[in-house]
Amino acid sequence: MIEAQNLTKRYGSKTAVDGVTFTVRPGQVTGFLGPNGAGKSTTMRMIVGLDRPTHGSVIVNGRPYAQHAAPLHEVGALLDAKAVHTGRSARSHLRALAATHRIPNSRVDQVIEMTGLSSVAGKRVGGFSLGMGQRLGIAAALLGDPQTLILDEPVNGLDPDGVLWVRQLVRGLAAQGKTVLLSSHLMSEMAQTADHIIVLGRGRIIADAPVDQLVGSATATTVRVRTPHIPQLQAVLAGAGVTVSNSEPQLLDVTGLPIERVGELAASVGVVLFELRTMTGSLEDAYLNLTREDVEYQTDAAAGFDPRAVLHGGAQNFNQAPAVPAPPFDQNQSFDQNQQGVNR
């Protein structure tokens, strides 16, 4: 469990995190969303004591991170996959971390296998691709079999197999009762992975709700009707609180009426329907609606885009079997044989 109270971080005149209060609960995956510069990474760094709050506090599993005697067993964090000694092999990097907590080498081998790094475990980290570095960061986060995991953009640079693996991994960890806080800019992926979402905008919390609730409240539900009798249907639908848009021939999108009522009104004037269905918004729609005012670094395209117009259909058990085996690398494709490309 992560509990933040009035957490604030200022860098000079810049307020990166502005009095946020939230709880990240065990047994579920909590997605941490927000535009670039919203304060997600700063918040995550404060959770693990890498940044000191200007005001407020944050505790993990009941106490500040720095007060845990064996933090790797409490909190596993992937914050910056590049923060690794490039001259070491993946295995020696993990063994060095493990030695700080008397974690046995057998656990190192286990997390190497879990993260699909077996074939490159002896290679220097300096030659790892971005995706391999991410896997190594996830391996390090899992090393102490912690109760709480904090993963900043863990799927960044992963191939589709890797993205699927991370999704299954974190879902499995949450199912074991662990607390998982995960940031990502991939909304479709987050929609499939998270149970609960916290959205930050300019350092403040914009939303903190279960995914379904967030999508339901931040997007409009539309009834889509396909009929050859558009004018007759439009005439009968016209009324207070009903919005009808006609984006294509034979197609109407109706907001403000339940699907049953649209069907009844069509029947009342003898209009034949070829299609009648409810279209709910996506997490991406909800996110874009929520953060429209809070995007600091905005492109013209994003500024002019109206998302509302687009609706789419515990215990330290080192012997625990890996929940989801990771797909191995194609070593020939992913590994920089010349050891030149650091974190490509």
Ligand X SMILES: Nc1ncnc2c1ncn2[C@@H]1O[C@H](COP(=O)(O)OP(=O)(O)OP(=O)(O)O)[C@@H](O)[C@H]1O
The footprint of ligand X (CB under 6 A) covers 11, 14, 16, 34, 36-42
Taking the complex as a whole, the smallest distance from the CB of residue 181 to ligand X amounts, in Å, to 13
User: Residue 36 or 217: which CB sits closer to ligand X?
Assistant: 36
The beta strands (E) that lie in 34-161 are given as 55-60, 75-78, 148-152
User: Residue 198 or 271: which CB sits closer to ligand X?
Assistant: 198
User: Residue 47 or 254: which CB sits closer to ligand X?
Assistant: 47
Taking the complex as a whole, the smallest distance from the CB of residue 206 to ligand X amounts, in Å, to 12
Taking the complex as a whole, the smallest distance from the CB of residue 76 to ligand X amounts, in Å, to 19
User: Residue 150 or 244: which CB sits closer to ligand X?
Assistant: 150
User: Residue 11 or 318: which CB sits closer to ligand X?
Assistant: 11
Q: Provide the phi-psi class of 133: left if phi over 0, else alpha when psi is between -120 and 50, else beta.
A: alpha
User: Residue 47 or 139: which CB sits closer to ligand X?
Assistant: 47
Taking the complex as a whole, the smallest distance from the CB of residue 12 to ligand X amounts, in Å, to 7
Triad 252, 254, 259: Cα angle to 5°: 110
User: For the purposes of burial, counting CB atoms within 10 Å of the CB of 249, is it exposed (0-12), middle (13-18) or buried (19 or more)?
Assistant: exposed
Taking the complex as a whole, the smallest distance from the CB of residue 186 to ligand X amounts, in Å, to 12
Q: Which two tokens stand for residue 276?
A: 């009648």
Integer angstrom CA distances of residue 18 from 7, 200, 265: 7, 10, 50
Q: How are beta strands 179-183 and 148-152 bridged, if at all? A: parallel
Taking the complex as a whole, the smallest distance from the CB of residue 17 to ligand X amounts, in Å, to 7
Taking the complex as a whole, the smallest distance from the CB of residue 141 to ligand X amounts, in Å, to 17
- Kindly give, in sequence order, each residue whose CB lies less than 8 Å from that of residue 47, ignoring residues fewer than 6 positions away: 2, 4, 58, 60, 65, 75, 77, 150, 181
- Kindly give, in sequence order, each residue whose CB lies less than 8 Å from that of residue 201, ignoring residues fewer than 6 positions away: 34, 35, 38, 290, 291, 293, 294, 295
Residue 344 and residue 127 in contact, taking contact as beta carbons nearer than 8 Å: no
Q: Provide the phi-psi class of 310: left if phi over 0, else alpha when psi is between -120 and 50, else beta.
A: beta
SS3 for 291?
A: helix
User: Residue 9 or 91: which CB sits closer to ligand X?
Assistant: 9
Residue 185 and residue 31 in contact, taking contact as beta carbons nearer than 8 Å: no
